[in-house]
Structure 1
Amino acid sequence: MRLKGKVIIVTGSTTGIGKAIAKRCVAEGAKVVLHGLEEDLGLEVLGEIGEKNAVFHCEDISTDRCPANLVRVAEKSFGKLDAVVNNAAWVVTSNVNNTDRAFLQKILDVNTISPFLLIQEALPQLAKTKGCVLNIGSVNAWSGEPNLLAYSISKGGLMTMTRNLGDVLIRDHGVRVNQINPGWVLTERERERKKEHGLSESWYEGLPPIYAPAGRILWPEEIAAASIYWLSDESGPISGQVVDLEQYPMIGRNAPKDTSTIK
């Protein structure tokens, strides 16, 4: 029980990586504040992990009051707050030709600014418990794919924020801030996104080595397993660190000769 007695907010925890992290946190002994936009999915997750272990808050993460509401729910339901997992994000295609000011601002609001505001709101409680923040970024923060421009910009900003606050908050408040950058993960949304792009039902099976040297992409549960180290006391004083979770190096990789496309 590596998280026994801890209270953790996990944003965007109705599906995918966030859901897997929330479930793993409860399995490790934590109480969790679930969060998302889809009430039916949130209540479904709540039913899976049990109302004695979690509470669900349904609200757009980018609204003005959401950060304060999430912290209030944690305090009211469980009496304290030990950690925040900033997982909620908007993953949407865009490029230099179709990204306008309003679109880019919305992406930044959800993926970069809202995580900062939640950290800011939660800081007094996290300082009391000498808690931590785990930001869920993306390997696209390093440069991104051609059609993930706005998303990549937002995750790059999140990564810089992690480095900055990871240094400042551990010194001034005893609060650690770290980040995981997942690679390509087989979430429910990713399955549907690729189908909407015209790929087959089984697009994730038999992927070319250039995309998946191991023969498959990552599972949400594998990201969740890695998150427990950063949320637990096992990581000690480590702060301001960003860890890429992918099956090949993002910088300086030796691309395989097989460059066939996904079918």
Structure 2
Amino acid sequence: MNRFVGKVVLVTGAGSGIGAATARRFAKEGAYVVLVGRTKEKLEKVAQTLPAEISYVYPADVSNNQAVERLVKDVVSKYGRFDVLVNNAGTATEGKITEVGVEDWQKVMSTDLDGVFFCSRSALPELIKQKGCIVNVSSVSGLGGDWGMSIYNAAKGAVTNFTRALAMDFGEEGVRVNAVCPSLTKSEMTEDMLGNAALMASFKERIPLGRPAEPEEVADVIAFLASEDARFVNGVNLPVDGGLSASNGQPRQA
């Protein structure tokens, strides 16, 4: 498939995990891919796996509004257009709110929520011109609560509803806004979880497919939502969770 030939796709948090896999997927389908993240070395490593003529490494902190505004201006200056924004950059912290600090709240909110707001706000005038789209990376943790993850739940819950609201506000202008909501996915951020045998046994018990997601499996859904194949899909927060959210939460009885 070559659904994105000639289109410009910006992926935040592109240095690893879902972001890196998403950049590779769009490049495979012919897009010009802008790889955004805080660490230039990580971005360059991902870029080495892409054709040089279609990748653009752009180190930036998406929690900084001025940096995001420069980013969008530079992308449009370089390519003359902007078609797809994938808001993927994120971080997490664990603990009840009585166990974490204000700085933990601010760190998660600035990346997971402020970054989505800043990037979307700056990109929308250009996306309106191209009748483009936004795909946010929320989480199953944005669809329901977790023990000991209240800050992350708050941030991703906000992204989930922000997705719906943007879809309503900008649909008439031709811009679709959707989100993917992955469950546990193999990445740098989840290495400690993946290495915990007891925790993995619990996840496998809860996920009907019996395993965590590969980053590429989430990237495939992101590409679908950004494509013309999903041209009438708008305001959706799509679980990519192996069936985890299909459960009502009761324990296995058979």
Fold-level similarity (TM above 0.5)? yes
Q: Which moved more, 1:93-102 or 1:133-142?
A: 93-102
Contact in 2 for aligned 1:209/1:256 (Cα 8 Å)? no
Alignment of 1:119-130 (within 5 A): 119-130=120-131
Check the 8 A contact 1:10/1:32 in 2, yes or no: yes
Letter in 2 for 1:174: G
For 1:181, the equivalent position in structure 2 comes to 181
Alpha-carbon distance between aligned partners in 1 of 2:188 and 2:103, rounded to the nearest angstrom: 27
Instruction: Give the Cα–Cα distance (whole angstroms) in 1 for the partners of residues 110 and 84 of structure 2.
Output: 21
Q: CA deviation at 1:61?
A: 1.4
Pairwise CA RMSD: 2.1
Task: Letter of the 1:64 partner, please give it.
Answer: N
Question: What's the secondary structure of 1:256's corresponding residue?
Answer: coil
Query: For the residues of structure 1 that align with 2:234 and 2:249, how far apart are their CA atoms?
Result: 27
SS of aligned partner of 1:97:
coil
Normalising by structure 1, we get a TM-score of 0.88
TM-score between the two structures when normalised by the length of structure 2: 0.91
CA deviations over 1:18-60 (Å, ceiling 9, x no partner) = 1001100000111111011221111111111032111111122
C-alpha distance in structure 2 between counterparts of 1:207 and 1:147, whole Å: 16
**Which residues of 2 match residues 107-256 of structure 1 at below 5 A?**
107-171=108-172, 173-192=173-192, 194-195=194-195, 199=196, 209-250=204-245, 252-256=248-252
1:43 equivalent to 2:44? Answer: yes
The structure whose residues are more often helix, as a share, is 2
CA contact (8 A) 2:3 2:227 kept: yes
Unaligned stretches of 5+ residues in structure 1: 259-263
C-alpha deviation, 1:189, in angstroms: 2.8
Provide the rounded CA distance (Å) in 2 between the counterparts of 1:72 and 1:18: 21
**% identical aligned pairs:** 27
Q: 1:72 to 1:208 in 2, by over 3 A?
A: closer
The total of aligned residue pairs comes to 252
CA distance in 1, matches of 2:111, 2:53: 29
TM superposition shift of 1:232: 0.9
Q: Which blocks of at least 5 consecutive residues in structure 2 are unaligned?
A: none
Does the aligned pair in 2 maintain the 1:12–1:89 contact within 8 Å?
yes
AA in 1 matched with 2:49: E
Partner deviation per Cα, 1:69-123 (whole Å, 9 max, x = no partner): 2212321332210010000001221322123433213211111122111111111
